[in-house]
Amino acid sequence: MRVHPLTGLAAAGSTAVITTAAGSWPLSLAVVAGALAVSTVGGTARRLLPAAAAVLVPLSLSLLMVHGLAYPEGRAVLAEWGPARVTTEGLGFALQRGVQVWAAVLALLAFSFSVSVPDLVAALNAKGVRGRFAFVLASTLTLLPAIAAQAARIRTAQEARGLVIRRGLVHRAAAFRLQAVPLVLALVEDAGTRAAALEARGFSSSGPRTSYRTVPDSTAQRLLRAVLLLAAAAAVVLRLWAAAA
């Protein structure tokens, strides 16, 4: 049975929420392992790992630097250089928080790297907010490579006019302006054409909509989604209740 994109989203989202609510590092580590296993089985690990590393490596380094070197609340000092104090509490806090963020990030990335965007868009296809949100999401993902290619085309066209990008911040900033102006101008113009085209094809019409692409769904999956959302909500309520008590 195929996983409905909204089921995947509910699973990833509630996992992230529950892990954050629980705040327990064994659970976080289990979620990290689970997310990696899911993406390995799904064959997306090769694309997921670089993306995850790009986010998590600087964040983890930053956490270690902030709490590893300076944690005024810490008592058990391990080492001290001038103002920097390495404390057990600080390192513990950094690791605990780091693993928690790792779990949430990997769970969500495992979803976004495995979901079929056209299916997700079809599942969201409706009028009003959902339809427009689906449009913004899908259009951004389509335009990202197209605009990168367009920027490259503009750069070559300008090089052909004798633009030589020299080293140094000022030169780069000047070159950025020269390239950004035609890019933004073309993008705004194209967007105007696209807006007219979409309007003529009923983008803003208020009536009911149908979908050409069929995304299989089942009662079991609908039920599962409801359970996942309830579990996430329950985890949040329990945590806040425990904090208040």
CB contact set of 103 (below 8 Å; sequence gap of 6+): 15, 16, 19, 27, 28, 29, 31, 32, 35
Listed residue (57, 60, 79, 59) closest to 69, CA to CA: 79
The single residue among 1, 26, 160, 168 that binds another protein, judged by CB under 8 A, is: 160
The single residue among 181, 226, 230, 234 that binds another protein, judged by CB under 8 A, is: 181
Please state, as a whole number, how many other Cβ atoms lie within 10 Å of the Cβ of residue 94: 20
* DSSP helix/strand/coil, 87: strand
Listed residue (205, 163, 155, 199) closest to 180, CA to CA: 155
Q: Which is nearer to another protein, 209 or 222 (CB)?
A: 209
26 is a contact residue toward another protein (CB under 8 A)? no
Interface with another protein by CB under 8 A: which range of 30-38, 144-152, 221-229? Answer: 144-152
Please, which of residues 213-232 interact with another protein by CB under 8 A? 213-214
Nearest distance from C-beta of residue 143 to another protein, angstroms: 5
Please, which of residues 73-132 interact with another protein by CB under 8 A? 73, 83-85, 93-94, 96-97, 100-101, 104-105, 108-109, 112, 117-118, 121, 125, 128-129, 132
Nearest distance from C-beta of residue 224 to another protein, angstroms: 22
Radius of gyration of the chain (CA): 24
